[in-house]
Chains A and B, each alone.
Chain A
Amino acid sequence: MEPASSRAEQLRSRIAKAEAELRELRSQLSRVEAQEKEEEASGLDSPWKWPLQPHEYERYARQLILPHVGVAGQVRLKSAAVLVIGAGGLGCPAAAYLAGAGVGVLGLVDGDVVEASNLHRQVAHSHTKIGMKKVDSLADYCTNLNPHTSCVRHATHLTPENAADIVSKYDVVLDCTDHPTSRYLISDACVLLQKPLVSASALRTDGQLIVLNNPPAPSGTKDGGPCYRCVFPRPPPPDSVQSCGEGGILGPVVGVMGVLQALEALKLVAAGPPSSPEVPAPSLLLFSTAGASTFRSMRMRGRRPDCFACGTSSSLTLGALQSGMVDYVLFCGLRSPVRILAPDERITATAYNNMLTDKPGLAHVLLDVREREHYTIASIPGAVNVPFSTLQRTDTGGKDGARPDWLPESLPADAPIYVVCRVGNDSQLAARKFKEMRLGSDRRFIGDIRGGMEAWKQEVDRTIPFI
């Protein structure tokens, strides 16, 4: 009998094929149904004299009767092209509500594929779509929701080279990406191409939302709204930037922010061109589940006169952007691999494991410096948890030689201290700190397990859950 893995592979490929065929049939049906409705309408005795098609009055009935939309707003939505950059936790709900509301053209940009760890928050994807391109998964979802919205799939990451080409085709842009480099790039492209930008982000239990470059006046003029650089002129240091993979994210938090983005985009499009030349003062909305007040709105200023992108003396041009003269990676900084400890201050996961197998009672301390939540999921037997964030706050100044709580008093002065973390960066910083704190005598080994828990999983215990 064939091994289960190869049978599973065959089944997966047969299911994928059948699903692709189904998708194609469904989208054909949607198009034919739309045609059918139009034929019905044209088959009426008297000519059709209303601004929307019959099915549109039915589909959009609940929003058509709102003063913010109305027939004029619905017609504007239908003729609008909206770009959603990022088909993840923000992009999924944002795109779904935009499609549902009847945006005419919905552009989707993403270069990634669906993974299982996306599904707790990226609501348009599903278990059966793991491995599929995110733009295809989201476009299929939106087309099923509303076949009258035409989804354009840009299966790529936004780059300085392709940004102008993609962004220029749309009226409003939503930044649903996950990194400082893309945030600055999208903002610059929107300033140069004069597109309003609805920007949102989320991490852990916090979210931010701001409508930028609104109104999208030419750069250098004061009539326009501030851009991302006006709000955050300096990128955060690369080592302080956390992704959802590293910091974690609660599904509804990013969902709320994505839904709010759709709302702001709908308001912008449905309202049409501003009736008064007055520039509305923008506000930054903060969402925080941890604090006592969930929403806070901060009054912002207009454009910064000295802004690199939209300021009066800005020299940023589309040509400069496309030719790569603005190095976003350099601007935001690269996270360099930590190389603090010398090779003889580090041991491999295998060596540590062998050492304990040979001498099970060996006096030593194994300190796991991952955050408590990581440690609680799974740890090396005997490891003591002191989170790195706690260590960072421990003041070393003037307290040299003081014994920290995690170091047992009974431990011999030359008993080694091993530090382990997730992938072997924080552990080096922690080991260095302990040396600076002069923990124990010069004879004591203080070092880390190279590669951290990731290496432990690869080399020693393949069953251990690693996040």
Chain B
Amino acid sequence: MAPKPPKGHFNVLYFASAASFTSMESQPLPAPLPLRKLFDALDEKHPGMKDNILNSSLVTVNLTYVDVPEKDDDPNQVIIEEGDEVAIIPPVSSG
């Protein structure tokens, strides 16, 4: 398992090209964080990640798929809480 996030943080797991892009398997981020702000927060840490990786990736919170709201007034607002496990899963197409 990835290391437990420090107090007041959640863990982000990076798969496939997300791991290559960040050169990390996981990273703690401060919680709570609205899900709609996740991509911007990650793009700030890893410039270019939003366009290159995140926009085409699937996101899960605690092993369950979530839709990342694109607008602030989207009724479907999820807050990422302390201790949550978020996964960034880009499509792998080769085989």
Residues of A within 8 A of B (CB): 86, 88-91, 176-180, 183, 200-204, 206-208, 231-232, 234-237, 239-244, 247, 249, 254, 257-258, 284, 286, 288, 290-293, 296-301, 389, 392-393, 395
Q: In the assembled complex, which residues on chain B have CB atoms less than 8 Å from the CB atom of A206?
A: 15-16, 19, 92
Whole-angstrom CA separation of A179 from B21 in the bound complex: 20
Q: Is the CB of B25 within 8 A of A242?
A: no
Contact of B89 among A179, A298, A392 (CB under 8 A): A298
Which residues of chain B in 30-77 are interfacial with respect to chain A, using CB atoms and an 8 Å cutoff? 46-48, 51-53, 55-56, 58, 60, 63-65
Asked whether A231 lies within 8 Å of B64 as measured between CB atoms, the reply is no
Q: Is the CB of B95 within 8 A of A237?
A: no
B13 at the interface (CB under 8 A from A): yes
CB distance from B45 to the nearest CB of A (A): 10
Shortest B70–chain A CB gap in Å is 12
Tell me, in angstroms, the Cα distance from A237 to B46 when the chains sit together.
17
Contact of B93 among A234, A241, A284, A288 (CB under 8 A): A241
Report whether B95 and A180 are in contact in the complex, using a CB–CB cutoff of 8 Å.
no
Number of interface residues of B (CB under 8 A): 33
Question: What is B's interface to A at a CB cutoff of 8 Å?
Answer: 1-2, 13, 15-17, 19-21, 23, 25-26, 46-48, 51-53, 55-56, 58, 60, 63-65, 87, 89-95
Contact pick for A176, options B48, B53, B60, B95, CB 8 Å: B95
Q: Are B15 and A288 touching (Cβ within 8 A)?
A: yes
Q: When chains A and B are docked, how far (Å) is the Cα of A239 from the Cα of B16?
A: 15
In the complex, besides A178-B94, A237-B56, 13 extra interface pairs with C-beta distance below 8 angstroms are A200-B95, A203-B92, A204-B20, A206-B19, A207-B92, A231-B58, A232-B56, A236-B91, A243-B94, A244-B95, A290-B19, A291-B25, A299-B63
Q: Classify the secondary structure of A's interface with B.
A: mixed
How far does the alpha carbon of A237 sit from the alpha carbon of B91 in the complex, in Å? Answer: 11
CB < 8 Å A-B pair total: 114
Are B95 and A257 in contact (CB-based, < 8 A)? yes
Chain A residues positioned under 8 Å from B94 (CB to CB): 178-179, 201-203, 242-244, 247, 249
User: For B16, what are the chain A residues with a Cβ–Cβ distance below 8 Å?
Assistant: 203-204, 206, 208
Q: Which residue of chain A lies nearest to B17 when distances are taken between CB atoms in the complex?
A: A240
Q: Which residues of A contact B46 (CB under 8 A)?
A: 393
Among B48, B55, B89, the one with the most A-chain Cβ atoms within 10 Å of its Cβ is B89
Verify A392–B58 contact, CB threshold 8 A. no
Q: What separation, in Å, do the CA atoms of A232 and B90 have in the docked complex?
A: 8
How long is the Cα–Cα vector from A90 to B92 in the complex, in angstroms? 13
Residue of A nearest to B62 (CB): A299
With A298-B64, A301-B65 known to touch, is A389 a contact of B20 (CB < 8 Å)?
A: yes
Which 3 residue pairs across A and B have the least CB separation, nearest first?
A90-B95, A201-B92, A236-B56
For residue A234, give the distance in angstroms from its CB to the closest CB of chain B: 4
The complex places the Cα of A254 from the Cα of B95 at a distance, in Å, of: 6
CB distance from B80 to the nearest CB of A (A): 16
Residue among B52, B56, B93 making CB contact with A178, cutoff 8 Å: B93
By beta carbon, the residue of chain A nearest B3 is A292
Q: In this complex, what residue of A is CB-closest to B16?
A: A206
What is the chain B residue whose CB lies nearest that of A393? Answer: B23
Q: Are the C-beta atoms of A234 and B25 separated by less than 8 Å?
A: no
With A and B bound together, what is the CA distance between A208 and B90 in angstroms? 10
